[in-house]
Amino acid sequence: DTEVTQTPKHLVMGMTNKKSLKCEQHMGHRAMYWYKQKAKKPPELMFVYSYEKLSINESVPSRFSPECPNSSLLNLHLHALQPEDSALYLCASSQPQVALYEQYFGPGTRLTVT
């Protein structure tokens, strides 16, 4: 099984809402990633978890809050988002040496903030 699943596929939320994105993998990977991708742009790294600990936070606003409950699950909690946060949010996983091990990407959650 080389699949990374993400739910929901689409999400529309208002600026006062609280919602969560979920990512799951069962490949035994110990590194998991959140990326944000705007239309016609490359993915931008947001967070990296390595062995369930946050290892990289790319200066992401606090309205995005990641959580890694266990080695298979990664959540992204959203609160008080802005319309400019509308984007495709991609989750990925790998073994913790990205240079040596392939990152497997999920299909993404397309988020619209109204």
Q: List interacting residues with another protein (CB under 8 A).
A: 4, 31, 33, 40-43, 45, 48, 50, 55-56, 90, 92, 96-100, 102-103, 105-108
Residue 49 beta carbon to another protein: minimum distance, rounded to whole angstroms: 10
Q: Residue 55: is it exposed, middle or buried by C-beta count within 10 angstroms (0-12/13-18/19+)? A: exposed
CB of 29 to another protein, least distance (A): 12
Between 43 and 66, CB nearer to another protein: 43
Nearest-approach distance from CB 10 to another protein, in angstroms: 10
Give least dist CB 87 to another protein, A.
14
Taken in order 52, 73, 42, 60, is the CA torsion positive or negative?
A: negative
Say how many Å lie between the first and final Cα of the chain, rounded: 36
Of 38, 47, 32, nearest to 111 by C-alpha is 38
Q: Which is nearer to another protein, 43 or 113 (CB)?
A: 43
Question: In this structure, what DSSP letter does residue 103 have?
Answer: P
**Is the Cβ of residue 16 or residue 99 nearer to another protein in the bound state?**
99
Rounded Cα–Cα distance for residues 104 and 101 (Å) = 9
